[in-house]
Amino acid sequence: MEAGVNFRRGDYSPLVLAYLGDSFFETLAREYLVGDGNCKPSELNDRAREIVTAHSQSAMVERLLPILTEDELAIYKSGRNSKSAHRSKSASALEYRRATGLECLYGYFWLTAQHVRARELFLRCVQQL
């Protein structure tokens, strides 16, 4: 593991991890899209929305589950099973919960400085969209 904060699961609620992970995941999406070359910001925003929606993130989870470590799976499940007052207008409840689990996992990756692992998993999924 790369150097990061001394992470203990009980220190952060899964929804706080998801809050942070949402930002990290979107940053990875933007970095990926900019890497394709220069284009209009409006095009970048449209393409980013295709990646960061709950529907897309839920589909990514299906590809990731078989390759997650035991610890990563536990973090994902804690986010997926969290009770949130927020609901998505464009995704089913199941898709929204899966996306929350994925964002929770990415919050964990950020706090533990596992950026290489986060990018590896992100690229594996986004290239299949």
Catalytic machinery residues:
22
Long-range contacts of range 45-48, CB-CB < 8 Å, 24 or more positions apart? none
**Could you identify the residue written with the tokens 């994925």?**
102
Say how far apart CA 29 and CA 87 lie, in whole Å.
22
Length in residues, the chain: 129
d(CA 85, CA 35): 36
Task: Please tell me the distance from the alpha carbon of residue 52 to that of residue 27, in angstroms, as a whole number.
Answer: 10
Measured CA to CA, the distance from residue 92 to residue 15 in angstroms comes to 18
